A = this chain, B = another copy of it.
């Protein structure tokens, strides 16, 4: 599995250069918008000239794909990180909070990952796989709370993406909607969970384990 030393070294150099370009690309889209990425601007930010970019990427779409893959990996890492509790409700809340904050803190990343607004761009299957896994993990956390109906899974995705959507559109950088996660979860569980638990209206700590 070990290549010769020079090969490894070159491979490492190449990868770090790619990563530097991708990093510059993220800075670019955060400043100019996702669709506003241009090879000229990216080259300038990366400290090279446009043709050099084509030594590392085949096309502009190839750069978007690398960004997509990186973002998808970050997303998976955030969502699948250990949950510091065994309480199903707490797990669901934590998962939702992670999702909403991950999306709301970086709108271009959200736009690239979950909204398809780049004309002609489709992520490669390798890049796309983590996102699918993350959705499945979301369904697992719902199942922990007794929510398994596809209809309710759809309501759940609408609920959390609605929070993200409003936060990004109407209060960028703030927390006007992100802070509503816990109350939304309680509302959702009160309606969709099979054995209704006692819930208090406000965000006060409550006793755990009333459900099982």
A151 to chain B, nearest CB (A): 7
The segment out of A20-28, A43-51, A69-77, A180-188 that lies at the interface is: A180-188
Tell me if A117 and B119 are in contact (CB < 8 A): no
Counting CB contacts under 8 A, is A60 at the interface?
no
Enumerate chain B residues within 8 angstroms of A36, measured Cβ to Cβ: 119
**How many of these chains are in the complex?**
2
Tell me if A162 and B169 are in contact (CB < 8 A): no
Tell me if B180 and A191 are in contact (CB < 8 A): no
A209 to chain B, nearest CB (A): 9
Counting CB contacts under 8 A, is A166 at the interface?
yes
Nearest chain B residue, comparing its CB with the CB of A159: B162
Tell me, in angstroms, the Cα distance from A107 to B184 when the chains sit together: 26
Tell me if B119 and A169 are in contact (CB < 8 A): no
Counting CB contacts under 8 A, is A157 at the interface?
yes
A22 to chain B, nearest CB (A): 22
Beta-carbon contacts under 8 Å, A161-207 to B: 161-163, 165-166, 169, 176-177, 180, 183-184, 186-188, 190-192
Tell me, in angstroms, the Cα distance from A85 to B89 when the chains sit together: 38
Tell me if A155 and B169 are in contact (CB < 8 A): no
Interface centre among A116, A117, A165 (most CB of B within 10 A): A165
With A154-B180, A163-B158, A191-B190: A169-B35 Cβ-Cβ less than 8 Å: no
Enumerate chain B residues within 8 angstroms of A158, measured Cβ to Cβ: 159, 162-163, 165-166, 177, 180, 184
With A35-B35, A119-B33: A184-B155 Cβ-Cβ less than 8 Å: yes
Tell me if B166 and A154 are in contact (CB < 8 A): yes
Q: Which residue in B33, B165, B188, B208 is a CB contact (below 8 Å) of A165?
A: B165
Residues of A within 8 A of B (CB): 33, 35-36, 114-117, 119, 151, 154-155, 157-163, 165-166, 169, 176-177, 180, 183-184, 186-188, 190-192, 208
